[in-house]
Amino acid sequence: MSIASRVSEYLAEQDADFDILRHPHSSTSLESAQLAHVPGDCIAKSVVLGDERGYLLAVLPASCRVDLGELHRQTNRNLGLVTEHELGALFEDCEPGAVPPFGNVYDLDTIVDESLVEQSDIYFEAGDHESLVHVSAETFEALLADARHSEFIRHH
C-alpha cells in the first residue's frame, strides 16, 4: 500500500522533501522503530482520541505514552482511545492502525508533543505497516504548522 493517497497529495502540495524507509511488517510504532533501526524517540506515533465533542489526534514519540490526565487538564475534555471501527472510518485510505500524523488532512484537531521538536529527523507511518516516511524536523514542523503544541507524554 505504501503512502496513503491523502498523505501523498498533502506532501506534494506542501512540496515536502521526504524519503521512504521500508521495513518488515510491524504491529506497533515501537516495533517499526526496531525493525527500521530508528530510535523510538524519532518516530512520530499518532494516537486517535475521542469524546462527545469529537476526535483529537495526538502525535508523540513512539517511545512514550499519552498522559490522558494531562490532556484532560489541558483540553478540558474527557478523551479516550477510539475503537478500531472508528479508526477505519476516519482513515479509509490507510491500513488499520497505520495512522498518519496529519490530522488536518483528515479534518481532525491535532496536538503534537513538544519532545518531537527536539529530534533532528522524524519518521512516521503514513498508511501501511511496512514503510516509514522520513523528514527533517523543520519539514515536520512546517507540515504540522496548524497543530497545537504541548507536553502530554509519559515515558514507557
How far apart CA 30 and CA 36 sit, in angstroms, is 10
Which band of pLDDT confidence, cut at 50, 70 and 90, is reported for residue 117?
Answer: confident
Of all helices (H) and strands (E), which one includes residue 3?
Answer: none
Residue 51 burial (C-beta neighbours within 10 Å; 0-12, 13-18, 19+)? middle
pLDDT at 1: 54
Of 46, 37, 61, 68, the residue nearest 126 (C-alpha): 46
CATH value at residue 47: 3.90.960.10
How far apart CA 78 and CA 95 sit, in angstroms, is 27
What total number of domains does the chain contain? 1
* Structure confidence by residue, pLDDT tens digits, 19-55: 999 999 999 999 999 999 999 999 999 999 999 999 9
The parent domain of residue 16 ranges over 5-155
The pTM of this model reads 0.95
